[in-house]
Amino acid sequence: MSTPQINPSKIKSNAKSKINTIENYISRLFHNNGKTENPQNKIILLGTFLLIALGIYSFSVFHNDFEEFNANRMDSTLGAVFGIVGLILLVYKAIMFLYIAYNYYKYKPIKSVSDEELPTCTVIVPAYNEGKQVWDTIMSLEKSDYPKDKLEIIAIDDGSLDDTWDWIIDAKKKLSNRLEIFKQPENKGKRHALYRGFNVGSGDIFITVDSDSIVNTDTIRHLVSPFVKDKNCGAVAGNIRVLNNTKEMLPKMLDVSFVLSFEFVRSAESNLNSVLCTPGALAAYRSTAVHNCLPQWINQTFMGQPSDIGEDRAMTNMILKQGKHVLFQKNAVAYTNVPEEYPGLYKMFIRWGRSNVRENLEMSKFVFTNFRSGSKFGIRSLFISQFLKILISYPLVIFMLFFVLVHPLLFLGSTLVSILIFSTFSVLFFANSYKSFEGFWAYSYSILYTFGLFWITPYAIATANRRGWLTRGLTEKK
């Protein structure tokens, strides 16, 4: 047997190629299309790693103090109870994570069906104070590779105070009868705008797209294919990525968070036929399922007040209650704008938190009944997991504040070490999915959420009856 010849120049070339690839990945953290991003991002990301390193060092220095603190806590009856409950919750969380991971592994997106099989669709775009972005949204929908004779697009201006209606009219001029437009006499809220679209739309499938979102050309085709393959499918959630993630820090963090939330969690939920929330940015509903609950949906109240938030989660709940499957399509992608500054971010999270509280209470009324045929173990497990997060939010905040007062440095060290451990999964998941080091923003996001947004869920619980969108004012639009 001849000895294989080693080519030193080839080895050198391969090594150089790998080094260049790594350098490109690192460069992409701070550059986009050759344009340098906000220099603060680099400082924040580097600061994140320094802070985590400080946390590891602090934890190692105070490791004995941590053991003593834990021992003293266990000596008291109340501390022992908290310790046992905490251990049970940790074990449950670990089991739930493995359960989600298993179902994620089993998940496969449904491939697009043929043009002949595709159903008729009505795409509804509600808009309020959106400016030119609504025009971009409509144009991205018009470019879809969906059969033109099966696709109806409706844009509804919900009483905007800016030039949104002018942009909708301009889109109408360009698309002619390909686009139907309506204008609400006054701002009534997104739910009422969608309600109008549901009543005038003629498609077998209703698709809702936020007016600050852009879709791929094949998104609509992929989104509606599950309705053909699964006759009991009542709704489908799209895959949401962040559109404005090229410069600012918060959108980059949210983009990584969205990937985990949609491509990991909702994939697992879809394998259980039980996606808990179809996102407003991109979702599809079987028209018969919508009309079955439309009166209840538009007249929904909470503590005597009309519900003007959480219309997507509410619709999902009502369709699940009908015994229908709710699925997720990873290959149906929409890119949406998210807040770029902290005030807009926490207001968005408050709205989501209030909706989560309300709809978990609504879900508790039917999830343990015989509401659907077949196994209900999956959806009940998902509900319990979500409900537990709400139940333990106050005890966790109280314990955190107590820990801070008793031993602040030990709290900082142990918390940052926990962030390093748990956020690494998000980093690896993003890197594996998109071959990018931008997943490192998961560490920054976890630090921000732990120290800057920990109050959201307790506050949302306490103010769950309050109304208001919070993030749609003209002063907050760019």
**Average pLDDT value over all residues in the chain:** 87
Cite the DSSP H helix spans in 230-286: 249-259, 267-271
16 — pLDDT class (breaks 50, 70, 90): very low
Fill in the amino acid letter for 450. T
Q: What is the mean pLDDT of residues 163-178?
A: 96
pLDDT digits (tens, 9 = 90+) for 50-71: 888 877 777 677 667 666 666 6
Where is pLDDT greater, at 192 or 27? 192
Three-state secondary structure of 81-147: HHHHHHHHHHHHHHHHHHHHHHHHHHCCCCCCCCCCCCCCEEEEEEECCCCCHHHHHHHHHHCCCCC
Distance CA 463, CA 228 (A): 41
Contact 316, 235 (CB under 8 A): yes
Q: What is the mean pLDDT of residues 380-404?
A: 91
Q: At what angle do helices 287-298 and 311-321 cross, to 10 degrees?
A: 120
CA 310 from chain center: how many Å?
13
Task: Decide if pLDDT at 19 tops 70.
Answer: no
264 — pLDDT class (breaks 50, 70, 90): very high
341 three-class SS: coil
How much is the pLDDT for 195? 97
pLDDT digits (tens, 9 = 90+) for 326-345: 999 999 999 999 999 999 99
Every domain of the chain and the residues it spans: 121-378
Residue among 283, 114, 91, 98 at smallest CA distance from 194: 283
Distance CA 76, CA 61 (A): 25
Q: What is the mean pLDDT of residues 444-461?
A: 94
Fill in the amino acid letter for 307. S
Q: What is the mean pLDDT of residues 336-364?
A: 96
Task: Decide if pLDDT at 262 tops 90.
Answer: yes
Spatial neighbors of 90 by CB under 8 A, at least 6 apart, are none
Q: What is the mean pLDDT of residues 212-235?
A: 97
**Residue entry with tokens 């990018």:** 436
Task: Decide if pLDDT at 2 tops 50.
Answer: no
477 — pLDDT class (breaks 50, 70, 90): very low
How much is the pLDDT for 443? 93
pLDDT digits (tens, 9 = 90+) for 293-315: 999 999 999 998 999 899 999 99
Task: Decide if pLDDT at 267 tops 90.
Answer: yes
State how far the alpha carbon of 121 is from the alpha carbons of 95, 118, 177, 204, 257, in Å.
40, 9, 15, 6, 30
State how far the alpha carbon of 334 is from the alpha carbons of 33, 198, 219, 394, in Å.
20, 21, 7, 35
How much is the pLDDT for 72? 63
Fold of 121-378: Spore Coat Polysaccharide Biosynthesis Protein SpsA; Chain A (3.90.550)
How much is the pLDDT for 472? 61
Share of the chain above pLDDT 70, in %: 85
Contact 150, 121 (CB under 8 A): yes
Q: What angle do CA 437, 440, 445 make, to 5 degrees?
A: 145
**Lowest-confidence segment of 177-181, 253-257, 407-411, 414-418 by average pLDDT:** 407-411
Task: Decide if pLDDT at 473 tops 50.
Answer: yes
79 — pLDDT class (breaks 50, 70, 90): low
Distance CA 365, CA 470 (A): 28
**Residue entry with tokens 């704008």:** 337
Query: Residue 299 gets which letter from DSSP?
Result: T
Task: Decide if pLDDT at 474 tops 60.
Answer: no
Q: What is the mean pLDDT of residues 115-124?
A: 97
Task: Decide if pLDDT at 130 tops 60.
Answer: yes
Contact 158, 188 (CB under 8 A): yes
